[in-house]
A and B are shown apart, each in its own frame.
Chain A
Amino acid sequence: MPRRLADTAAVATAAVVTVCCLALLASCLDGTAVYWFGGWVPRHGIALGVAFAVDPVGATMATLAGVLATAALTFSWRIFEAVRTLHHALMLVFLAGIVGFCLSGDLFNMFVFYELFSVAAYALTGYQTTDPGPVRGALNFAITNSVGAILVLAGIALLYGRAGALNLAQLGQSLASRPADRLVIVAFLLLMVGFFVKAAVVPFHFWLADAYALAPTVVGVLFAGVVSELGLYAVARVYWTVFSGPFEGVQGLRGILLVGAVTTALVGGVMCVLQHHLARMLAYATVSHVGLTLAGFALLGPAGTGGAVLYLVADGLVKGALFISVGIIEHHLRDTDERRLAGRGRHLPWVAGLLVLGALGLAGVPPFGTFLGKALLEEAALAAGQPWLIGLFVAVAALTSAALLRATGRVFLGLGPGGGPAAARRGPDESAVRHPHAHPTQVAPAVALLALAVAIGLWPGLTAAAEEAAARFTDRPAYAAAVLGGAAEVPAAHPPVLLAAPAGWAVLSALLGLALAWAALRPDRLPAGPRDRLARAAAPAVAALRRIHRVQIGDSVTWLVVGMAGFGTLLALVTR
């Protein structure tokens, strides 16, 4: 196929998929849209076939994937790839898998689509053969995620042995009558761990940084924007449709999930600051934000869920834009290490602007959509009696935006210790700059994604819509009624969210981020005594954290089993 035709066809297909998902979203606002494949409608409450059950949350995730895929394919328009048609076909299969995963209302069908987009992702991560980078990253990614998929399937088998059903709604009905016993607990454990691997919750995240560093930009946009989020989506979907009945009244579950969320957020945030490789930096920013979003779900209520969904959509758009920006840097400067790039980005002011805006988006500053999401999350945290979570949100936002601002300052302004000499030493490499200016088809997708993230933030009535969508998402009986035999759902009214305090927290996060970035770039301006004492005190912990993250495949799988044993033991303790 001629190159131009393949490009156009791929972008057009992704765009059409996006529009279809958007139409689906519009059509399911009034009530869950259920589609039985083969026309096999359930009989006497028993599902014979497979259904797609589309509610606003699922449709939104599918739309997000479509938008990101369209942007990524547009970005790749001008970048030469040898195996182009195969690559585009794989990208579209990747997208198809994600969309199916978001819409499906059947547990095994979700597994099939989960494997579908995973397999496409393994191949897309590993194929960049010109890069002498560590291919083992792709293998670590593939093996760890395959183990996750095996655990998911084992969980499905356990549930099937108990309930004799695979439809989410039917499973939920079948399990609801009794409190969680050992089989339900272990099935929950297996499914959650499997999805945690995809979501990159600590300690199941060790595959992520290598996969990001290795993935071509086109793929990385989807990784950064939606793949981890899909793991979280699955956690929430399966919890609310299947397990919310048997785990009702299990007080400790929230605590366990919050411990995981806080660990994930902090480990991700600190590791993000410690990175110099830009794609790895974004990888750990993702981990950190996964922790933040998981905290929203962990509140186990509609408010936290609504905030989490709104946040992860806006955050996904921002991170997609950031990954494209990193892709532009890589394409033009043939490097993504901020130390080696010091001062070399001066002729790409557009990209610097994108990175700064992206950093503000990560910090959750208005008018970015991340701000609204976080405002809802903060409200939910206060309502749930967990006000300290606000501190965590501020810390995460400050750490991740600080890392990005520091890198931007170093790459585009040449700031930072060692920046000057390094830039001078790198002088001859200016010849490695292949294209002096970023092309519009490269910059435009990133601008569009950021604009969308802002549009979400300015959309009137969006918080109320998110709360309503979350209320439906977390209403197990209503979901079951919609899927297995329809009763009308009654939307509840939601008071408007107060935005003054969240705005203050957002500004504080951004200022903290800026201050941290400045401190990293100009350590000479800090008072020497406290600075050195702090550095000495932190050194062992930092070294340990780095050492833990220097993993190979065996370590990654070992941590997975450790995490599973720990999570399972805690679960067993709190449900007894």
Chain B
Amino acid sequence: MLKFLPYMVAAWLLLVGLYGIVTSRNLVHAITCLSVAQSSTYILLLSVGFERGGTAPVFLDVPVGTRAVDPVVGALTLTDVVVGATVSALLLALAVQAQKHQGTLDPERFGKERD
């Protein structure tokens, strides 16, 4: 079961996050749900680079050649975390603006298009 558990957790978080966006009645809530969906990629990336029994890829106290986990996924996830946070910040600013113009954060109550 453990063979695929983290992958399943990642898939679950992706879908749950999307479910939250789809059913959201508040933009700030939807944005937080998006960050949950985004976190699924952190888990996925780190899981595919994980090596059982490996140390962190820091060779200060352990010699080079010690079995260590993949440093590349660490670097990728680091980038991903920053990207996720900055996108969320930008979205929050957009939500504040939506509140200003529409007077509500509920997407269902936004004015509909003419066309």
Contact = CB atoms under 8 A, between A and B. Distances in A.
Contacts of B69: none
A93 interface: no
B90 A119 contact: yes
B91 A134 contact: no
B107 A552 contact: yes
Contact of B45 (A139, A157, A552): A157
B98 A139 contact: yes
A553 B102 contact: no
A115 B85 CA distance: 12
Contact of B102 (A108, A136, A153): A136
A126 B97 contact: yes
Contact of B90 (A123, A136, A277): A123
- Interface SS of A by simple majority: helix
B44 A135 contact: no
Given A134-B111, A147-B37, A552-B107, A157 B90 contact: no
Interface in A148-168: 150, 153-154, 157-158, 160-161, 166
B56 interface: no
A75 to B, nearest CB: 25
B30 A143 contact: yes
B75 to A, nearest CB: 9
Contacts of B24: 553-554
Nearest to A337: B114
B14 to A, nearest CB: 7
Contacts of A136: 98, 102, 107, 110
Interface residues of A, number: 41
B23 A554 contact: yes
Interface string A14-52: 000000000000000000000000000000000000000
Contacts of A134: 101-102, 110-111, 113
Given A553-B107, A554-B23, A160 B48 contact: yes
B94 A146 contact: no
B61 interface: no
A558 interface: yes
Contacts of B86: 119
B66 interface: no
Contacts of A275: 115
Nearest to B76: A108
A552 B102 CA distance: 14
A558 B45 contact: no
Interface string B20-57: 01111001001100100110110011001100000000
Contact of B40 (A108, A154, A161, A550): A154
Contact of B91 (A139, A277, A554): A139
Interface string A120-156: 0011001001001011101100110011001001100
B107 A119 contact: no
Interface string B83-105: 10011001101110110111000
B68 interface: no
A147 B18 contact: yes
B41 A557 contact: no
A126 B23 contact: no
Contacts of B95: 139
Contact of B115 (A112, A139, A274, A553): A274
A135 B115 contact: no
A335 to B, nearest CB: 12
Given A126-B94, A154-B14, A558-B22, A146 B87 contact: yes
A561 interface: yes
A277 B114 CA distance: 9
Interface string A434-476: 0000000000000000000000000000000000000000000
A154 B94 contact: no
Interface in A102-121: 108, 112, 115, 119
Contacts of B79: 112
A161 B48 contact: yes
A87 interface: no
A276 B115 CA distance: 7
A153 B34 contact: no
A374 interface: no
Contact of A280 (B10, B49, B110, B115): B115
B71 to A, nearest CB: 12
A369 B34 CA distance: 41
Contact of B94 (A139, A147, A158): A139
B15 to A, nearest CB: 8
Given A146-B87, A160-B73, A135 B22 contact: no
A140 to B, nearest CB: 8
Nearest to A142: B91
Given A115-B83, A134-B113, A154 B41 contact: yes
Contacts of A166: 72
A146 B80 CA distance: 12
Interface in A250-297: 274-277, 280
Contacts of A161: 48
A134 B113 CA distance: 8
A135 B48 contact: no
B112 interface: yes
Given A119-B90, A139-B27, A157 B110 contact: no
Contacts of B110: 134, 136, 552
Given A150-B37, A150-B38, A554 B90 contact: no
B97 to A, nearest CB: 5
Interface of B: 10, 14, 18, 21-24, 27, 30-31, 34, 37-38, 40-41, 44-45, 48-49, 72-73, 76, 79-80, 83, 86-87, 90-91, 93-95, 97-98, 100-102, 107-108, 110-115
14 contacts: A119-B90, A126-B93, A135-B97, A135-B102, A136-B98, A142-B90, A143-B21, A143-B34, A147-B37, A153-B41, A154-B41, A160-B73, A546-B115, A561-B22
